[in-house]
């Protein structure tokens, strides 16, 4: 794990075995608990080619430029530029944010 130094047999923080997730681009690996992922995020990141924070690109345009404009879905950890969202967002939402893929799967977040 790039965070705790453990492996799948032992997370050095929890002292428990834990499956790691691996970045599709750089090959870096981490335990979901070290990434502070929710159980829902853990399920979701196993369904697509996950990217770590350093490699994250926008799911819509595939670009990593303007990283200050990137939002991260609180359910799947995919990245989206605010201007690539449909409809585009002029500012980052307060609190949790759910991408359109997760809205289709889980429903809109209640404010």
Full set of structural domains in the chain with CATH: 1-55 (3.30.40.10), 59-111 (3.30.40.10)
- What's the rounded Cα separation, in Å, for the pair 18 and 61? 33
Among candidate residues 24, 19, 76, the one with its CA nearest the CA of residue 50: 24
Q: Identify the DSSP state of 12.
A: T
The beta strands (E) that lie in the chain are given as: 21-22, 29-30, 70-72, 79-81
3-state SS class at 59: coil
Band the pLDDT of 41: cuts 50, 70, 90. very high
- What's the rounded Cα separation, in Å, for the pair 41 and 37? 6
Query: What does pTM read for this prediction?
Result: 0.90
Per-residue pLDDT for 37 more than 90? yes
CB neighbours of 7 closer than 8 A, spacing ≥ 6? 1, 20
Mean of the pLDDT values across residues 48-57? 97
Per-residue pLDDT for 92 more than 80? yes
Q: Identify the DSSP state of 68.
A: G
- What's the rounded Cα separation, in Å, for the pair 55 and 24? 9
């Amino acid at each position: 794990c790039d965070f705790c130094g453990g492996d799948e047999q032992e997370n050095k923080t929890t002292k428990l075995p834990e499956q790691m997730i691996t970045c599709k681009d750089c090959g870096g690996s981490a335990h979901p608990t070290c990434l502070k992922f929710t159980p829902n995020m853990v399920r979701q990141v196993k369904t697509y080619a996950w990217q770590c924070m350093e490699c994250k690109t926008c799911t819509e345009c595939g670009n990593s430029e303007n990283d200050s404009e990137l939002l991260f879905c609180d359910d799947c950890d995919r990245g989206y530029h605010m201007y690539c969202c449909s409809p585009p967002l002029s500012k980052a939402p307060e609190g949790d944010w759910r991408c359109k893929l997760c809205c289709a799967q889980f429903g809109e977040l209640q404010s």
